[in-house]
Amino acid sequence: MSLTGEGDHPMTGDHVLGFSADGVVIRSEYGMNFLVPAVSDEVTLQISSEFLLQK
């Protein structure tokens, strides 16, 4: 996980934080074996989020 940015929003003035995370899930480790290997056993996750400070 990494911090992608922090600061005051230029239009609203609200304080915001941005994060991103990447990861890989192996489907067969969770019992999802259907069509493996025809369908990839690895699923790549990309998560991005922004948090707004509420007062």
Provide the residue ranges of all domains of the chain, joining segments of one domain with +: 2-52
pLDDT value at residue 33: 87
> Sign of dihedral through CA atoms 26, 30, 36, 40?
negative
- The b-or-e profile of 5-37 (16+ CB within 10 A means b, else e) is eeeeeeeeeeeeeeeeeeeeeebeeeeeeeeee
> Sign of dihedral through CA atoms 54, 4, 50, 13?
positive
pLDDT tens per residue, range 3-40: 899 999 899 889 999 999 999 999 999 998 888 778 89
